[in-house]
Amino acid sequence: MKKHLQFSVKALNSFNIQAIAPKIFFPTSLVELTELANKHFTHFYVLGEGSNTLFCDEKTPVLIKPSFKGIELTEDNDSFYVKVACAENWHDFVEYCVNKKIYGIENLALIPGSAGAAPVQNVGAYGVEVGDFIDKVSWFDFSQQALVNYSNAQCKFSYRDSIFKQKLNGRGVITHVYFKFPKIWHPIISYQGLSCLPPPVSAQDIMQKVIQLRQEKLPDPKVLANAGSFFKNPMVTNACFKALQQKYPAMPFYPQSNGNVKLAAGWLIEQAGLKGFKEGDVGVHEKQALVLINYADALGQDIVKLAKHVQQQVMKQFNVQLQAEVRFITQQGEVDSASVGKG
């Protein structure tokens, strides 16, 4: 199996953070995954393309970067079935589907990262979540040393969440994701920016528009190193929301089916006066307050410090705790992102 020692991960994370991996493995088969399972590493991290990952220390734990490739397509009268290997690039996969006239995930174009990471936080954008089209996920479980299939229901998809981020976190590797796309397609264009598309709307139109909107709104990590939305949109109780709304009538809000209310993290950060805030090599993007930037050669700790500052300011003004969407990886493995604002 391909492996490196003392390997720089600077090119393997979209924050462009310099850190050294003591060991990094690139398994491409179940035999190689079994070999890794038998090593019983105390601390390790499964890395995709590193676009939702913050390496906090100058050293990383052992890294496992699954490198399975390939796409397989079958169909019946009603649906297309597509099996994609974890190391395929997500956006290339979206383009592959749309070019083959397989529709459903066009709204998720240009989300950086690998196909294998997409189910982990149930990536979503422009009114669609990847879990809407996942049939099952193949998971290599390190303790069982076997492949286990998780059905859509077993994946427990919800807002930026799944079983892979919760119970199964750090216990195995997603090798393949199986999609089911019904041949009867309904465009999702209710989201702001897409509703202006003139009918009849094709999936190609949606994909192009999403690409255009994302290029206008979000900084390209290759130009300004970042990991997309750094914080999740916070959920608050209805009572908490009502109190805030009295004070801030213009505050955007999204009522949820369970009675709670989702707030816009970017708006809270902007109101806290942090949009465009810069300190040393790090800062809050001047157009997108939800995006933290490494402008030059920041260390992971510089980003952690900035994230804490943002959380503290938002807490001070709104009494709302922001939780990171980005995964915090120390030398000892992942740390709870919710704890980053404390201490």
Ligand X SMILES: Cc1cc2nc3c(=O)[nH]c(=O)nc-3n(C[C@H](O)[C@H](O)[C@H](O)COP(=O)(O)OP(=O)(O)OC[C@H]3O[C@@H](n4cnc5c(N)ncnc54)[C@H](O)[C@@H]3O)c2cc1C
| Interacting residues with ligand X (CB under 6 A) | 14, 45-53, 66, 86, 111-114, 116-118, 120-121, 123-125, 164, 173-174, 218, 221, 226-228, 327
Q: Which of 325, 327, 334, 337 is catalytic?
A: 325
Active site residue 79: no
Active site residue 160: yes
Helices (H) and strands (E) in the chain, counts: 7, 21
Contacts of 100 (CB under 8 A, 6+ apart): 73, 80
User: Count of residues for the chain?
Assistant: 343
How near is the Cβ of 91 to ligand X at its closest, in Å? 9
**Choice between 16 and 244, CB closer to ligand X:** 16
Give CA 157 to chain center in angstroms.
13
Q: How far is CA 297 from CA 10, 19, 220, 294, 329, in A?
A: 10, 11, 17, 7, 18
CA atoms of 101 and 309, how far apart (whole Å): 46
How near is the Cβ of 101 to ligand X at its closest, in Å? 24
- The structure tokens listed for 38 are 């038998």
**Choice between 317 and 331, CB closer to ligand X:** 331
**Choice between 49 and 103, CB closer to ligand X:** 49
Active site residue 337: no
Q: Which of 229, 327, 334, 337 is catalytic?
A: 229
How near is the Cβ of 221 to ligand X at its closest, in Å? 5
**Choice between 178 and 241, CB closer to ligand X:** 178
How near is the Cβ of 70 to ligand X at its closest, in Å? 14
How near is the Cβ of 50 to ligand X at its closest, in Å? 5
The dihedral sign for the CA sequence 46, 52, 57, 59: positive
Please answer whether residues 324 and 307 qualify as being in contact, where contact means their C-beta atoms are separated by less than 8 angstroms: yes
**Choice between 228 and 234, CB closer to ligand X:** 228
Q: Which of 51, 88, 160, 327 is catalytic?
A: 160
Nearest to 65, CA basis, from 22, 105, 120, 24: 24
CA atoms of 114 and 102, how far apart (whole Å): 19
Backbone angles phi, psi at 21, to 5 degrees: -90, 125
Backbone angles phi, psi at 64, to 5 degrees: -115, 115
CA atoms of 120 and 169, how far apart (whole Å): 9
**Choice between 221 and 234, CB closer to ligand X:** 221
CA atoms of 342 and 97, how far apart (whole Å): 43
How near is the Cβ of 86 to ligand X at its closest, in Å? 4
Residues marked as catalytic: 160, 229, 325
